[in-house]
């Protein structure tokens, strides 16, 4: 985590409670498009603004579920994929996980995860890198919030998550109805109405589902 990345997060996001998980505070940006221009130079609907700067619906729903069901992670080793702000990782740490590893491909996100963990007085190992072609290591629980937003990402993510499930990990996903979620691979655990910034989703509330991945064949397969 570079000092420059940390300074950028502090400058462009303010620490505030998360709408649907007020137990957790995150550094959050007030306005998405301006921040996107600062970090990537262009805003397009097929490339969402920086994940680290907002509490996305899938992450909020999954963090709420973990917070309300701490037995899921208590005493267990947890991996949070595509962690973004670190919301889900922090929820797992607050719920008593033995260890929490939060992985991101964005250096600014890694800085944000570390800052947010510190702000919530929990320990999270923020890691920079793309691990989707590998495995989940020794993780007993794998969590992923809002990761099926593009076809390419969905295919890679599903392969990784299936490997983790078949190795014995419990795999949970939070998803607000993204088009590329393979629903026939999952079992529904909970449904929430999650408040979101209209500038991100064009609505104020997203119906968000927490799913558990099945290691076996899709529903209806022989």
**Phi, psi (deg, nearest 5) at residue 146:** 55, 60
Dump pLDDT digits (tens) for 36-87: 555 554 434 344 457 888 899 999 999 999 999 999 999 999 999 999 999 9
Nearest to 176 by CA among 153, 204, 136: 204
pTM attached to this predicted model:
0.91
pLDDT, average across residues 26-37:
70
Dump pLDDT digits (tens) for 108-142: 999 999 999 999 999 999 999 999 999 999 999 99
Q: Please provide the average confidence, as pLDDT, over all residues in the chain.
A: 90
pLDDT, average across residues 2-23:
92
**Length of the chain in terms of residues written:** 222
In whole angstroms, give the CA distance from residue 12 to residue 24. 19
In whole angstroms, give the CA distance from residue 111 to residue 10. 10
More reliable by pLDDT, 72 or 106: 72
């Amino acid at each position: 985590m570079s000092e420059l990345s940390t300074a950028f997060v502090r400058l462009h996001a303010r620490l505030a409670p998360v709408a649907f998980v007020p137990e957790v505070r995150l550094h959050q940006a007030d306005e998405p498009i301006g921040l996107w221009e600062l970090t990537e130079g262009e805003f397009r609907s097929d490339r969402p603004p920086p994940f680290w700067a907002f509490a996305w619906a899938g992450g909020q729903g999954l963090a709420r579920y973990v917070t309300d069901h701490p037995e899921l992670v208590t005493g267990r080793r947890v991996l949070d994929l595509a962690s973004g702000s670190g919301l889900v990782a922090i929820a797992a740490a607050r719920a008593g996980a033995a260890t929490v590893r939060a992985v991101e491909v964005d250096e600014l996100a890694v800085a944000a995860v570390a800052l947010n963990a510190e702000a919530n007085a929990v320990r999270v190992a923020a890691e920079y890198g793309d691990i989707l072609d590998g495995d989940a290591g020794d993780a007993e629980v794998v969590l992923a919030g809002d990761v099926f937003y593009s076809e390419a990402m969905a295919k890679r993510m599903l392969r990784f998550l299936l490997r983790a499930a078949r190795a014995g990990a419990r795999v949970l996903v939070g998803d607000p109805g993204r088009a590329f979620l393979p629903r026939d691979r999952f079992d529904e655990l909970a449904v929430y109405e999650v408040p979101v910034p209209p500038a991100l989703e064009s609505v104020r509330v997203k119906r968000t589902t927490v799913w558990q991945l099945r290691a076996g064949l899709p529903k209806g397969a022989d």
